[in-house]
Amino acid sequence: MTRCLVALEMHSLSSNGILEFKEQPSLTELANLVEQCKWSEPLVELQVWVRLSEMAYKTCNHQLVLKSTSMALRFDDNMYASKVKKLDKHKYTVWQEMLSFASCVLGKSLINNMHGKNVIRRSALEAFLNATRYGRRADNYMQVISSARYYWNTCLPLVCEFIERQLLMEPLNIILDCITATYCNQAGKG
């Protein structure tokens, strides 16, 4: 586990231009290392997969983005999340923020690699919709707004046809509900 975390930090520091390391594993090797590792804390594993997906997205490694985000999003059904929700609100919030971020990275990567295929566009729309839902659970207004913006920009080419507008109505209502809920909570805190 320590090797994974150190290698992840090495990549992070190298990509930010802070330090340069002569020898570091490739992102694909790091993903394999993370996959083989035994994790004692599921939240740490989730964060590692999300950070790895972000790094893969920045290097335009679409296959690794798909792998990393799928590994991160499998934590959505994790029983640990429901236990954390009851015991520790902060951990639950971080958990949902990580899932939101992973969904958003997945959607952005799909859009960058869709090559005009509407099937892939619909998958990206679903990822952005899920990102807004996770953002709502995390009560993070900025994540909800960011995901909603990506959703809107992705669906714009589809609004020309009546049937497409009808299909977009329900997801847009869900997104508006997420925005309203998180904005009301933010206004109550301020």
**Comparison of pLDDT for 119 and 184, the residue scoring more:** 119
pLDDT (mean) for 18-47: 85
Residue 124 pLDDT: 96
Q: Are 140 and 97 in contact (CB under 8 A)?
A: yes
Q: How large is the average pLDDT for residues 32-49?
A: 91
Q: What's the pLDDT tens digit per position in 67-123?
A: 999 999 998 876 666 666 666 888 889 999 999 999 999 999 999 998 888 899 999
Q: Which residue has the higher pLDDT, 46 or 189?
A: 46
Asked if the structure places residue 5 within a domain, the reply is no
SS (H, E, C) 22-48: CCCCCHHHHHHHHHHCCCCCHHHHHHH
Q: Tell whether 109 is covered by a domain.
A: yes
Q: Tell whether the model's pLDDT for residue 50 goes beyond 80.
A: yes
Q: Output the CA–CA distances (angstroms, integers) from residue 55 to 8, 17, 30, 60, 158, in the order listed.
A: 9, 13, 11, 9, 30
Question: Token pair for residue 138?
Answer: 């995390």
Q: pTM score, two decimals?
A: 0.90
Q: Which of 82, 74, 83, 77 is nearest to 103 (CA)?
A: 74
Name the band, by pLDDT with cuts 50, 70 and 90, for residue 3: confident
| pLDDT score of 13 | 77
Number of structural domains, the chain?
1
Residue 75 placed within a domain: yes
Q: What is the pLDDT at residue 78?
A: 62
- Residue 172: the pLDDT is 94
Placement of tokens 């520790």 in the chain: 88
Domain that holds residue 81: 34-189
